[in-house]
Every structure is written in structure tokens, then in C-alpha cells.
Amino acid sequence: MSKLQVGVIFGGNSSEYPVSLHSVASVLRNLDANKYDVTMIGIDPNGNWYVYDGDIDTLEHDHWLESGHATRALLSPSKQEGLLILENGTYTTKKLDVLLPILHGKNGEDGTIQGLFTLSQIPYVGCNHVSSAIAMDKEYTHIICESAGIPMAPYIALRKNMPQTMAQIVKQVEAKLQFPLFVKPANAGSSFGISKVNVMDDLEKAIDFAYAYDDKIVIESGISGFEVGSSVLGNDALIIGDVDEIETHNSFFDYDAKYELENTQIHCPARISDEKKAEIKAYAKTIYHVLGCSGLSRIDMFIDDDEKIFFNEINTIPGFTSASRYPSMMANVGYDFPKLLDTLLELALEKANATK
């Protein structure tokens, strides 16, 4: 049998570009070369597309663009063309059977590129453009999940194009929220732009910081407790991975805690009762279906001091390094890295066939 033609997309015009490089390196090392003919497709921080045919280490350390192994390319929105590879004033085409985006944050996880995939009519791993966009936007996630009865922290949303005075914002905060507050860009990941605010005098600075990453922000009441996560794999029938637990001595689970494990330890499985794990997994299934997800997601929640569960956020393309939480949770239920990737590609083809 001929190998499946897989386009693996990495990089991206996003603040999470470096995270993608580390994730995709692990993915490429774990894709079975006997099953897949892999085309590496890189997007640089300016949004330019390339086909890359160099080694994985060069990619991971962000020297791929100047390596001499990157050729300009683009994905056509036309079904007939597929991938266009541009050289010497002309182009060649390459047909791909399935796309595996390892992109995080804006323009990669927010439905933007998923819309292009849909136009190209190439099957792809992960949520569709609508679910990706909703899951990326913390305000819309709040609205939809709260309407389904899923508990979340109280919040307010602010928009840069609808300016308010600090006095007006303070009034909203005092009426609805409690300190500590978390101020977040509505559309960003990896804890970029997030601040923990303990007193009102620090709120304006945190708002300005969040607006540097997005034109819409959310301000949430902090939940006193600890964070747990649940991994989901599947389209309609779902496989739920193990539950993990974050133990951090930082003020919150920030970028350094996530990627350097600064003052942080991740326990998988979580150090909680089986009954609480079952409750978390049930919430994860509900959230996944309510948001219309497919393929995969990692769903993060809090357990407060009274052992109540609160949904925090969903990541539709979670981290994929060998030490990342999603692969670790799935490995604990029998899906090692190669099997996990096999399953994700199968699910992408299954979803495409179901919509024909």
C-alpha cells in the first residue's frame, strides 16, 4: 500500500511560534516513516509559507529558514491544486491526503487556518473553524458553557474599540468580581498577556498589558484552589485520558511554569479521588460536545477549596512536546505518542468522510 501523504504544518504568525517548533519536533520524531510520507510546511512569524526539507534539530532550534532547505510555498484554497511549491518563477503542485497542524495561538488555533483547510477540501486534524474560533475566545467560551450549566469563574469582558474609563471598569469589577483577579487577552494562549491582580491600583497596568496581545480582554475572579486537566480524543465517540494536576509555587501557572516547569510540578495522574476524576472527565465530555469539538482538545479546570470544579479554558491544539501534558495524559490510557498520532490522522479522515 502507498504511504499516506501527510502535510505537517508548524510555526505560524503568532506569539506562540516558538512553542510550535518544539511541539512539531516531537511530532515529527514520532510519526511512523513506514506509514507516512511527510511534507513539512513552515509558516514564518511574518506569515510566509515554505516547504522545509531539512533536519528536525535545525527546525526545533529555529534555524530552518536560513538553512537552505526552505522553499516558498502556499496552500491553495482550490481543491484542484493542493500545496503549491514556488521555484524559479513557476510552481509545482503536491497533493496531500491529510493535514496535521501543530500551530498554537492566533492564526493557527483560532479557526483562521481551519477555514483555509476547509476551502482546500483536504482533511485535517482537529476542530473545525467554528469550534476553533469559539474555543479560542475566552468570552464566547464563557457564554456558551455557562448557558449549558458548566460552572466558570465570574468575569467581565472589555473591548479596546469600546473604551471605558477606569472609573467605569472599577465599578463593574466591584459589582461582579472578587480579588485576586486574572486579566487575560480573550484570544491568546501559553499565558501570554496574563496578569494576576491583587489590588485595584494594579488593574490598569494589567489591562494595558493584556491589550498588547488582543483587542478584547476578560477579567475573571480568581479561584482559590489548584488546576487540573483532562485530555479528550475523538469525534463522536470519545476517549478520555488521565487527569493531571498542576502544583505550582509561582503566583499562577504562567509561561515559565508551563514550559520551564519553574517552581512547578505536574502530577499525572492527579492526586485526587477516583470520584473527583470521574466528575472532571464527565465535565470534559460535556464541554467538548457543547463547543462542537472534534479530533482532540485539552480541557483545563480548577478544583477550589470546597472541592467544587470550575472550567477554566480549552486548548484545541495543545502542546505536543514529549513532556507536554496532553500526550502524557493520553499515554496513561494506552495511547503512546506514535499511536496517538495514528489515531488523530485516522479521526481526521473519518471526519472528512462523514461530511461528504
User: Grid coordinates in use for 161?
Assistant: 474599540
The catalytically annotated residue of 16, 60, 109, 279 is 16
- CB count, 10 Å around CB of 45? 14
Residue 120 known to be catalytic: no
Residue 67 known to be catalytic: no
Angle between helices 138-147 and 274-290 (to 10 degrees): 110
Is 351 assigned a ligand-binding role in the annotation? no
CB of 242 closer than 8 Å to CB of 257: no
Is 184 assigned a ligand-binding role in the annotation? yes
Distances (CA, A) of 194 to 137, 211, 236, 317: 14, 10, 33, 19
Q: 124, 98, 28: which is closest to 320 by C-alpha?
A: 28
- CB count, 10 Å around CB of 169? 17
Is 315 assigned a ligand-binding role in the annotation? yes
Residue 190 known to be catalytic: yes
Neighbouring C-alpha atoms within 13 Å toward the C-beta of 308 = 8
CB of 122 closer than 8 Å to CB of 93: no
d(CA 33, CA 4): 10
Is 67 assigned a ligand-binding role in the annotation? no
Is 274 assigned a ligand-binding role in the annotation? no
Is 346 assigned a ligand-binding role in the annotation? no
Is 192 assigned a ligand-binding role in the annotation? no
Is 38 assigned a ligand-binding role in the annotation? no
Distances (CA, A) of 219 to 138, 186, 311: 10, 9, 15
Strand pairing class (309-315; 4-11): unpaired
Is 320 assigned a ligand-binding role in the annotation? no
Q: Give the full edge-to-edge strand order of the sheet including 90-94.
A: 90-94, 83-87, 70-75, 49-52, 36-43, 4-11, 98-101
The catalytically annotated residue of 132, 195, 230, 324 is 324
Is 300 assigned a ligand-binding role in the annotation? yes
Is 313 assigned a ligand-binding role in the annotation? yes
Is 182 assigned a ligand-binding role in the annotation? yes
Is 225 assigned a ligand-binding role in the annotation? yes
Cell 480573550 locates to 186
Which 8-state DSSP code applies to residue 164?
A: -
Q: 245, 260, 187, 194: which is closest to 19 by C-alpha?
A: 260
The catalytically annotated residue of 15, 20, 190, 328 is 190
Is 95 assigned a ligand-binding role in the annotation? no
Q: Which residues are annotated as a binding site for ATP?
A: 138, 182-184, 190-191, 220-227, 312-313
Q: Which residues are annotated as a binding site?
A: 138, 182-184, 190-191, 220-227, 300, 312-313, 315
Q: Which residues are annotated as a binding site for Mg(2+)?
A: 300, 313, 315
Residues designated catalytic = 16, 190, 324
